[in-house]
Amino acid sequence: MAVVGHEGTGVLARIGAGMPGGARLIVCGRCRLAYSSTEWLGLELAEILDSNCVRQLLSDWPAGDSIEVRHCGRCGAEIARAARSGVAPGRG
């Protein structure tokens, strides 16, 4: 299970296998509500941190990859998730 966070929010998303067929869940670190990849796409987009922004903090970040930050539909907390280049948003 991978854990990703967004600086300054105190909120982490736990991403792990938890659905049939190996689908991944994204879990709000504040209220613990779990989202499928499809549900993730329906959450309000807060911001996208492009690879240049992320590379200021992580020198080994892949070019073209970004971080999507969305608001939890229950509590409004920000949840961050890596988005790989060449992969549809919310599917990375």
- What are the residue ranges spanned by the domains of the chain? 2-83
Burial environment of residue 69 by CB neighbours within 10 A (0 to 12, 13 to 18, 19 or more): buried
At residue 43, does pLDDT exceed 60? yes
Q: Each residue of 44-81: pLDDT tens digit?
A: 999 999 999 999 988 899 999 999 999 999 999 999 99
- State if pTM tops 0.95: no
Q: Each residue of 16-38: pLDDT tens digit?
A: 545 555 567 999 999 999 999 99
Q: Which pLDDT value is given to residue 59?
A: 86
